[in-house]
Structure 1
């Protein structure tokens, strides 16, 4: 049986060139045409130019959810997550959720979220300390 190795989030964007620049320069993705991929996180996006800016509609928060994530990526360790936080800060990412550590009973889950130019929320989290 075949297994899916990678999936992408399709995002309607209001300005394709601006989004391409953001996903390359801020998020660190490899960008070509409408693809934006960051392989080490198995994180991928298909950026599609919207016909009308009103068509761009990031998710709303769900019940009990503070951040309306549009994409959520798992990072292997807290150390890698901390490195990513520093990289995104130095690249000028807009943080809509500062890093938080949550005791889950089985261990600590650490996460944060950033927002792209169209308001899409991209969350990152890790449950392993090292």
Structure 2
């Protein structure tokens, strides 16, 4: 008797996704996320600000610190966009007007702005992105969309 067809498998619910980031110097990264990004940072390495949460962990070796490389361009997206022009490690949705304020705030605190705010389109949507980088070069992309 085959019970596979007779028993429905209950679908479980996934919770919040938290990114874990290996860093070269845990104390330096905790300080950056606290002072530059204005996160609440605990001794466990949890760095939280509003809806953003990452866990910072000390890497065993510098070889283990690996920000994402640039992805391959694609021509099969549902819009004319072919993909980012730089590697993304974290993508954070922010309000359209908040994006400029956050970039200014981070810049004034000495944070590295890898890509100043820029706009483009995805079909009927207008997007605005900017990119900041943490001390290990992880790219944190701030992004917003609105109907164009």
Same fold (TM > 0.5): yes
Deviation track 1:29-55 (CA, whole Å, cap 9, x = no partner) reads 11011110112xx11110000111111
Which structure: larger Rg? 2
Q: Which runs of 4+ in 1 moved over 3 A?
A: none
Report deviation, 1:2: 4.3
Q: CA RMSD in A?
A: 1.5
How many residue pairs align between the two structures?
A: 125
Is 1:82 matched with 2:100? yes
Q: Which consecutive unaligned segments of at least 5 residues does structure 2 have? A: 1-11, 74-83
Between the two structures, name the one with larger relative contact order (CA 8 Å, sep ≥ 6): 1
Residue number in structure 1 paired with 2:28: 18
Contact preservation (8 Å) 2:26, 2:56:
yes
CA deviation profile, 1:82-101 (whole Å, cap 9, x unmatched): 21111111111111111101
Indicate the residue corresponding to 2:47 in structure 1.
36
TM-score by length of structure 1 reads 0.88
Unaligned runs of 5+ in 1: none
- Answer yes or no: is 1:124 the counterpart of 2:126: no
TM-score (normalizing by structure 2): 0.78
